[in-house]
Amino acid sequence: MSTFSAPKGTYDLLPPDSAAVLAVREALAAPLRAAGYGYAETPGFEHVELFSRGVGESTDIVTKEMYTLTTKGGTRLALRPEGTASVLRATLQANLHRAGNLPVKLWYSGTYYRYERPQAGRYRHFSQIGAEAIGTEDPALDAELIILAADAYRSLGLTGVRLLLNSLGDRACRPAYRTALQDFLRGLDLDEETRARIEVNPLRVLDDKRESVRRQLAGAPAMRDHLCEACKEYHEQVRELLTDAGVAFTDDERLVRGLDYYTRTTFEFVHDGLGSQSAVGGGGRYDGLSEMLGGPPLPSVGWAIGVDRTLLALRAEGAAPAAAPATDVFAVPLGDRARRELFTVVTALRRAGVAADFGYGGRGVKSAMKSANRSGARFALVAGERDLADGVVQLKDLGSGEQTPVALPDVVEDLRRRLG
């Protein structure tokens, strides 16, 4: 056993579990690719200011959870705690928004880092699939992204995911709501840290998960009662488009999410089988973030879905994707000449698109056949000196046990035919 282990709050992803994670990633990304979203990849670390300015200096992510470091040159960097700020920064830096083809539609996949108390569904590093539509204000774009996420969940077989929906208003109507909310919150029995948050970003108090705080929020003013006519109309269009697409949702006037940059449409996907960590994904519109980062006005919308949480939800429903066999054919050589001949066949199979593996290490037939069965292969290729003298190899169906001699020059084509 190694002297070292993975750091607290992290985990290693290894077969066979890794196959299920790859299946979830593919299912979440497939609808995005089909809808014209191009793949984006950003560094694992960015300048601290990108997140403190974009995510919000008052958020728990920035004040408590962000991993930071200082380079030898004195530059302060942070391991990325979320993806939106990085993708928008990359878009601005590459001038993608100036190409005249708005919105810029991007999807991404990666690992993100937050210093949190480790528990089921909440790790200090986690995997996400994200999508951003940058540069266009259109309720159809908000609805598109929500529908794509809902379709991805459905393609995985998830039935217990619920969509929560809200509007946070915009620069025209949120100030009045902010004042009304602050007046309400100042009258509550809150700790000093939460009281300080009232003055900086009172909406963040609505996101407090402590029961002692949530009980006191029962009579808090609702954003829906303060929305301007433009925001009301925008939100109603999103709701209608979702309804027309058959995507069910629940209006949740307390939903604010945990980041400062959201405006108007805000949404969250939750699964009741995950306990306190019920969110499996979410996002919203962030029309002012580009300007916060020094860019031009670029109204945008996006979401992030937790791969880890989605897999937990699938397991809670007993619907986790089965690991597909990594190997279709397993070669079992008996003797040195067979090793050379079958290794050549395995190489040819792989080049022909057939997943094939080989019995390495000169093991006996019994041990090699055990490896063939463990690999999940459908067929085994077995050859010894006598087989090769006759110019054949033995093709064994590992399901039925049926064994058939096949001429050595015909093996690749025969297997391709059998495997379809």
Nearest 10 degrees: Cα torsion 291, 294, 298, 299:
-30
67 a known binding residue? no
344 a known binding residue? no
257 a known binding residue? yes
33 a known binding residue? no
Distance CA 110, CA 124 (A): 14
82 a known binding residue? yes
261 a known binding residue? yes
83 a known binding residue? yes
119 a known binding residue? no
Binding-site entries: 82-84, 114, 128, 132, 257, 261-262
Extract the annotated binding site for L-histidine: 82-84, 114, 128, 132, 257, 261-262
